[in-house]
């Protein structure tokens, strides 16, 4: 075994156990290899939002009155936000519940690997898959639906913090909701239902100006609505902000809400996460 091939619980060349960051990086590499070996999962994960973008953008392709954009362009940033949440919240909520049910978490907890390394590995997984998903949707949007890339570096900076905060918040919520399913078999139903509802009331499938205000108020309690709004502010012209509920992009409020969800999601994880199923004691 070389010094770069250190397994959890083994010492490196200096005789010390590797730290949580190093083990987390190795764990992330393992998670990515396992993910990309399952070709059907890879295809479904990356193709699902692209297919929905194509369907909705093809059905609703007319100009949006007074906004200076087409409906197709309106769907691109919304689907990007949904893709980020899919690769973080949905992916982790289901996979961790299955790993708990199959006692994978229980076995990992019995090793010398620091618990933080397991979660760092998951973060690396969602960071890479989320970035790939976003890049694919952005490529489709710019080539097929004439979405213009920002020329202002400030807009790219906005995109960066929206992506990081949104991905982090959704990943933490995914870890937290993984404790809700009673078994791995029920994980998909438990996680997908709230995600699907949020997509309808957060401006992913339906334009903000056609959703009842009370639904928008509920959607505003969760990260997806603000991720959609922020990405629209990055990739759509200023004329399109008239479509927003508040008539503007509200980048400051977006940062505040997403940051609050990062803190709240972390607290939820600390309070609710379990390494074993309820029936295992």
Check: CB of residue 175 under 8 Å from CB of residue 122. Answer: yes
Neighbours of 110 (CB within 10 A): 9
Report the alpha-carbon angle 186-191-197, nearest 5. 130
The Cα 150–Cα 152 span in angstroms is 5
pLDDT along the chain (281 residues), means of 10: 42 59 86 90 88 89 84 93 94 92 87 86 93 95 92 95 96 94 88 93 87 91 96 93 89 96 94 80 56
Residue 195 CB partners (closer than 8 Å, separation 6+): 85, 86, 89, 90
Of the candidates 161, 223, 162, 164, which has an alpha carbon nearest to the alpha carbon of residue 198? 223
3-state DSSP call for residue 10? coil
Tell me the β-bridge partners of 70. 63
pTM: 0.88
Check: CB of residue 203 under 8 Å from CB of residue 225. Answer: yes
The Cα 109–Cα 107 span in angstroms is 5
The Cα 201–Cα 211 span in angstroms is 7
Check: CB of residue 48 under 8 Å from CB of residue 147. Answer: no
Tell me the β-bridge partners of 63. 70
> Would you state the pLDDT for residue 215?
92
**CB-based burial of residue 280 (10 Å sphere; 0-12 exposed, 13-18 middle, 19+ buried)?**
exposed
> Would you state the pLDDT for residue 11?
53
Of the candidates 250, 78, 265, 89, which has an alpha carbon nearest to the alpha carbon of residue 167? 89
> Would you state the pLDDT for residue 246?
85
Of the candidates 219, 201, 207, 209, which has an alpha carbon nearest to the alpha carbon of residue 247? 209
Per DSSP, 113 falls in state S
> Would you state the pLDDT for residue 281?
56
Residue 120 CB partners (closer than 8 Å, separation 6+): 20, 21, 23, 24, 25, 27, 28
């Amino acid at each position: 075994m070389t010094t770069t091939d250190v397994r959890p619980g083994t010492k490196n060349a200096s005789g010390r156990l590797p730290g949580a960051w190093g083990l987390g990086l190795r764990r992330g590499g393992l998670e990515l290899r396992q993910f990309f070996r399952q070709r059907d999962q890879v295809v479904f994960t990356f193709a699902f939002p692209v297919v929905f973008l194509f369907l909705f953008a093809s059905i609703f392709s007319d100009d949006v009155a007074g906004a200076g954009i087409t409906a197709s362009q309106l769907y691109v940033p919304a689907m990007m936000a949904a893709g980020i949440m899919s690769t973080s919240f949905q992916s982790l909520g289901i996979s961790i519940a299955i790993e708990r049910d199959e006692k994978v978490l229980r076995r990992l907890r019995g090793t010398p690997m620091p618990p933080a390394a397991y979660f760092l590995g998951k973060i690396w997984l969602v960071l890479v898959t989320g970035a790939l998903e976003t890049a694919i949707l952005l490529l489709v949007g710019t080539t097929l639906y004439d979405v213009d890339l920002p020329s202002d570096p400030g807009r790219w900076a906005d995109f960066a913090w929206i992506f990081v905060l949104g991905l982090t918040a959704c990943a933490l919520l995914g870890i937290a909701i993984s404790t809700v399913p009673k078994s791995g078999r029920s994980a998909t139903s438990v996680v997908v239902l709230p995600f699907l509802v949020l997509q309808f009331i957060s401006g992913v499938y339906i334009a903000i100006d056609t959703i009842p205000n009370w639904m928008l108020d509920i959607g505003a309690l969760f990260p997806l609505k603000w991720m959609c709004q922020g990405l629209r502010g990055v990739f759509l012209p200023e004329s399109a902000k008239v479509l927003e509920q508040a008539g503007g992009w509200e980048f400051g409020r977006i940062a505040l809400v997403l940051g609050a969800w990062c803190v709240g999601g972390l607290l939820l994880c600390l309070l609710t996460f379990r390494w074993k199923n309820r029936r295992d004691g």
